[in-house]
Amino acid sequence: MVMTYKGREFPLPLSDEDREWLQARSKDTMISALDREYANIKHHEEMIASKEAEADESERELSDEDAEEDDDDPDYDNWTVAELTSEIEERNQEEGRETPIPTQGKKAELVARIREDDAREVAAE
């Protein structure tokens, strides 16, 4: 903010030179008013910065939660056929499994079967 008095501009915060110039003209009330205005501006800026920091923190927390949720979903496409087969065999050993998952087939078929099994587990929950 800039205030003008008798053709002279006073940017905030007041410089020592501007303060002396106003004091020489007995403008102490103007100095006080400009100091209060500057304090209000700083307070407002700090509140905005604080709210932005809170929003950034909330956003980071949300993205961390999303990352944690993503960690729960393995990327089966990057697994080897041996790893996929082993996973299916482990699932077939679980108690209460009515129908075993076939372990034969191409990698894409194994991945699809595991994902179908995951979807069934989520639906059952």
| More confident site: 60 or 15 | 15
pLDDT at 103 over 90: yes
- The model's pTM is 0.44
Q: How far apart are alpha carbons 70 and 78 in whole angstroms?
A: 15
Orientation angle between helical segments 28-72 and 16-24, nearest 10 degrees: 150
Chain center to CA of 13: 34
